[in-house]
Amino acid sequence: MEPSAALQEDETDYGSRAGLQQRVVELWSCQAGLRLRHLRQVVGRNLSGHGHHPIPVPSCPLPSKRPRSKATMGYYFSLHAPSSKEEIYSSELQSTSNPNWVDIEVENIRPINRQSLRGVLVRLWFRPEGEEAQLVTSWGIHFSGLIPVGKALPYDHEKFRPNTLVFKLRHIFYTASGCYQDHRKQPLPPLLRFGFSLPLSETKPSYTVSALSRLHSTKRAQRQQEVKCQETQEMLEMRHITRTAQSHIMGSKVEDCRMRVALLRDQLEEEIDKLRGLKLSADNLDNQNQEKGLELLEGYQALHRQLGTVRTLSSQEGTKRDSLKKLSDCLSTWRKMLIAQLPVVYPIKQGSDGKYRICGVHLPDAENYDGTSERTLSVALGYVVHVVVLLSQLLNLPLRYPLRPYGSTATIKDTTSLLLADTAREFPLYTGGKEREKLQFNYGVFLLNKNIAQMRWYCGIPTPDLRPTLANLHFLLAKLSQPRKKWELSV
């Protein structure tokens, strides 16, 4: 091989290795900033955790626009926080050994502060039909330690080991080291070869003592310079001057802003839900108010109709009242005429000796019947009883003690006393001379005088003394015969 060709080959090899080193550096820088919020999808390959259960079919589902039916058995995964093992996300169930689970929405990862995790615990589960889920495998991954597979997954599943999980982060698929084998990529030719021997004549020392000493001095100075640069960089980072510190500050600010935006979005959703609830309550209250308004309108219309009926009845009652008033006036006039005729039929006059006589028969005061014959007393009391009965009928006034106007054999009945038997409540207003009959006679006259006092009280006339029977009755008839007195209003 010519020197120029060898030199060209070394330069090409060096260029390819430099390009690879640049890609590795770029890839490492990209993976170092990966977080849980960058996870877009999780894919399973060659899953074999079903055990004795039948293999989920199809093993490799073809893409289709039709919606798939809901699986009753198959695989699903769950994401957990590395420290607390708290479940952050759980996927749907897919009945296939090579599932492509749906994309993960960042909003579904709760709580929000878990979205900035650098690593996560992934648990793969297999759920048989009608049974509890079984744990197949658990992966504790750090996003910066994954190896890239490419922007698209190969269709050949044999390149993946059993129970392999592939993660899509920022449009690139990653998996764990040793789980993916790409036979198309050939290993790079090594720049140095070890394990072979050369003849001594073909060897020579690489460095002299002085060259090696200068090399060590240069490396020592380089290390010191690196230490100084590191100290200067740390000092600048402490003062927040370097670009990296500024980027970290801006990154933290961006994280804070994202966190605040997420919290504000949650708060906004809560407020929107509350507003919807308030609007629904307002609509319900509005409907209730309309129903109440209709009820009040119907009640008002019914009340208006009832008011018209009441006014009609009131006018009718007014007409009846006027007619009844006229009839009452006529009745009062007629009663007055009849009462005025009572003194004509039964005249009560006071003689020159001061004694009162009814129809010419003298009736002394009660408890002062000495010197008066029993027949005279019976006749006078019979007249008085007849006048009292007629007057109570004309006044339409029920007597407290009912009277039986049998002429000279009139009687009176006590219906209020509790000490008397039912057979001993009637008392005579006449006497036969016996002592027992006199006692009953005196009690009967007392009851008769109370009836006269009752009628006087009804007409507004006081009765200070019950004993003067004819005097009290004469004054009552005289009052009732006067024109239009107060008692007529009550009648």
Residues 45 and 151 in one domain: yes
Q: Which residue has better confidence, 332 or 257?
A: 257
Identify whether 8 is part of a domain.
Answer: no
Tell me if 198 is assigned to some domain: no
Alpha helices in 209-242, H assignment, sequence order: 209-238
Token pair of 202 as six digits: 């073909």
| Residue 252, domain extent | 225-327
Residue pointed to by tokens 């906004």: 268
Q: 486 and 403, same structural domain?
A: yes
Mean of pLDDT values over 218-236: 85
Amino acid of residue 108: N
Mean pLDDT of the chain: 81
Residue 200 lies in a domain: no
Instruction: Residue 119: name the closest of 83, 155, 90 by CA.
Output: 83
Is 192 among the domain residues?
Answer: no
Measure the CA dihedral 314/318/320/326, to 10°. Answer: 170
Q: Report helix, strand or coil for 149.
A: strand
Mean pLDDT value of segment 302-322 = 92
The residue out of 133, 148, 175 marking a domain boundary is 175
Spatial distance between the Cα atoms of 322 and 164, rounded to a whole number of angstroms: 111
- Phi, psi of 64, rounded to the nearest 5 degrees: -150, 145
Give the tokens for residue 7.
């030199």
By CB atoms closer than 10 A (0-12, 13-18, 19+), residue 441 is: buried
Q: Is pLDDT at 328 greater than 90 in this prediction?
A: no
C-alpha 264/C-alpha 302 separation (Å) is 55
Are residues 231 and 133 part of one domain?
A: no
**Within a domain: 1:** no
How remote is the C-alpha of 357 from its chain's centroid? 91
pLDDT band at 244 (very low <50, low <70, confident <90, very high): low
Are 39 and 165 in a shared domain? yes
Percent of the chain with pLDDT over 90: 27
- pLDDT at residue number 293: 92
Same domain, 322 and 360: no
Same domain, 365 and 480: yes
Q: How far is it, in rounded angstroms, from Cα 297 to Cα 289? A: 12
In this structure, is residue 419 part of a structural domain? Answer: yes
pLDDT of residue 288: 93
**Residue written as token pair 């027949």:** 375
- Contact (Cβ atoms closer than 8 angstroms) between residue 249 and residue 240: yes
Longest CA–CA separation in the chain, Å? 197
Asked whether residue 353 falls in the same domain as residue 318, the answer is no
Number of domains in the chain: 3
Is residue 481 classed exposed, middle or buried when 0-12, 13-18 and 19+ CB atoms within 10 A define those classes? middle
Spatial CA neighbour of 103 closest among 43, 173, 19: 43
- In a shared domain, residues 288 and 371: no
Instruction: Give the tens place of pLDDT for each residue, 11-35.
Output: 444 344 444 444 443 444 467 778 8
Beta strands in 351-454 (DSSP E): 356-358, 361-362, 403-404, 411-413, 426-428
Residue 212 lies in a domain: no
Mean pLDDT in residue range 179-202: 56
Choose from 129-138, 292-301, 471-480 the range with maximum mean pLDDT. 292-301
Confidence of residue 262 (pLDDT cuts 50, 70, 90): very high
Give 310's Cβ-side CA count (13 Å radius): 6
Boundary of a domain, candidates 278, 294, 327: 327
Q: Residue 2 has what pLDDT?
A: 37
Q: For the residues of 82-146, what is the DSSP string, one character each?
A: TTT--EEEE---B-SSS-BPPPPPGGGSSSGGGGG-SEEEEEEEEE-TTS--EEEEEEEEEGGG-
Residue 217 confidence (pLDDT) above 80: yes
